[in-house]
Amino acid sequence: MATSLTSHRPVLAITLKVIAIGLFTGLSALIKAVSDVVPAGEAVFFRSFFAIPVIVVWLTLRGEMKNGLRTSRPMGHVLRGLVGTSAMAMTFMGLGMLPLPEVTAIGYATPIFTLILAALFLGERIRLVRISAVGIGLLGVLIMIYPRLSSGLDMSSTAFVGVLLILGATVARGFVQIHIRRMVMTEQTAAIVFYFSVTASLLSLLTLPFGWVLPDFTTLLLLVGAGLVGGVAQILVTSSYRFAPASMLAPYDYVSMLFAIVIGYFWFAELPTLVMLSGAFLVIVGNILVIWRESRLGLERGKAKPLTDPKGG
């Protein structure tokens, strides 16, 4: 008799998710620490390439290394790699231009842009709750970036360019999320995670002629550490969803702001502004509305399932 690969263990799920969020925030700090000397393309390579051994070991231990990597949509993985690698590169560049808490806060807009893109490309209907969520979230984004725009569209301003890069990365991640919604219909999670790391590693090599540097020992440790930390964090966040539903775990994403504030203060002497925190609060409110609406829709679908699927009970 087959045993279920999932179980309801919320404390374990939350613990795994929070640790993963802390590691992802730490990863961002590692990249930020080397951003003055290491080009973004080189940082993307180390982040992606050194995550592969961690992922391979994990897949091997789970017995998914063979069957889990089969794919019927190779070009889907290529597209996911192109857009995802672009998002990563823009984020890494932006980390060198903006405070860590600000990059983290703007990144919270990803679910808002995902909703907009899903409506445009997937034809998903956006009703009152979702429209409200989008409006509140976009208002929060405008509040956060207003101080960077108040002097006009100054492309010579490092902070202004940084905002554009992080916004671009956020929109790209939104596109990745709706693309993955399609991919999971035919592709295993293991394949999506593995092939993205491989694709990102290969794509980042294309930037080699544009100024890669030979890192010193300390910088090399930080870069390799970013890759290893990223691989572990990816495993932990994936594992967390085996023990609790996504709707329950989603609000814990915002713990990253606490990590970003602490790391930003002690490592980079950065403090978030009141305006940034106010904007981030509105974005989080918008996201919580989305989470609430999705959980309600899930309950409604669950109640309707026995009526349409006799085996569902």
- In three-state secondary structure terms, 118 is helix
Q: What is the mean pLDDT of the chain?
A: 87
Four-CA torsion 55, 50, 172, 108, nearest 10 degrees: 80
Please state, in angstroms and rounded to a whole number, the distance separating the CA atoms of residues 147 and 99.
13
- pLDDT over 70 (residue 4): no
Q: What is the pLDDT of residues 10-38, one digit of tens each?
A: 889 899 999 999 999 999 999 999 999 99
Characterize 10-49 residue by residue with b for buried, 16 or more Cβ atoms within 10 angstroms of its Cβ, and e for exposed: eeebbebbbebbbbbbbbbbbbbbbbeebbbbbbbbbbbb
Quick one: 151 exposed, middle or buried, by C-beta within 10 A (0-12, 13-18, 19+)? Answer: exposed
154: confidence class by pLDDT, cuts 50, 70, 90: low
Tens-digit pLDDT profile for residues 161-173: 999 999 999 999 9
CA–CA distance, 242 with 240 (Å, rounded to integer): 5
Q: What is the mean predicted confidence (pLDDT) over 143-159? A: 76
pLDDT digit string (tens) for 213-225? 999 999 999 999 9
Contacts of 297 (CB under 8 A, 6+ apart): none
